[in-house]
Amino acid sequence: MPARMTLFVPNGYYHIYNRGSEKRTIFLSKKDYRNFLDRIEKNALKYAVDVLVYCLMPNHFHFLLHQKPEGSIQSCLHATELGYAKFFNTKYERVGPLFQSRFKAKSIENDEYLLQLSAYIPLFLRSATELI
């Protein structure tokens, strides 16, 4: 895979997102959503990442994260996505990658973008709750 363009700095804020391989549905039940949320919560505590806002859609997710020490977001998301993919593939008797690629990340450089994003992500949540 090509090198990641986003630099993760201590105390940085990031918009993190990813979707299912071939735009496939990655959450098929309420238990799937809960499993993913439990994993991100556990890994956020383990790797010192603050989850500020999130939205899980049937085929993708968005997070607004605050990284404390350097490298914590990569470790947190790697553990979460890998663990969830193993859970999902076992549960639904499938093989192969669940996510399209490594997660995408956009650094939040100013307060205006932080405020816009913190309002934007919950907009997805309103429509997603109808699907659960």
CATH code assigned at 83 = 3.30.70.1290
122 CB-side CA count, 13 A: 6
Determine the Cα–Cα distance for residues 81 and 31; give it in Å rounded to an integer. Answer: 16
Determine the Cα–Cα distance for residues 22 and 59; give it in Å rounded to an integer. Answer: 10
Stated pTM of the model: 0.85
Domain coverage including residue 79: 13-128
Rounded to the nearest integer, the mean pLDDT of the chain is: 87
Confidence of residue 120 (pLDDT cuts 50, 70, 90): low
Which pairing describes strands 49-56 and 13-19: parallel, antiparallel, or unpaired? unpaired
Number of domains making up the chain: 1
Residue 83: CB partners within 8 Å, gap ≥ 6? 39
Q: Pick the more confident residue, 130 or 23.
A: 23
46 CB-side CA count, 13 A: 13
**Is the pLDDT confidence value at 30 over 60?**
yes
Confidence of residue 14 (pLDDT cuts 50, 70, 90): very high
**Is the pLDDT confidence value at 3 over 60?**
no
Confirm whether 7 is domain-assigned. Answer: no
At residue 28, the 3 state secondary structure works out as coil
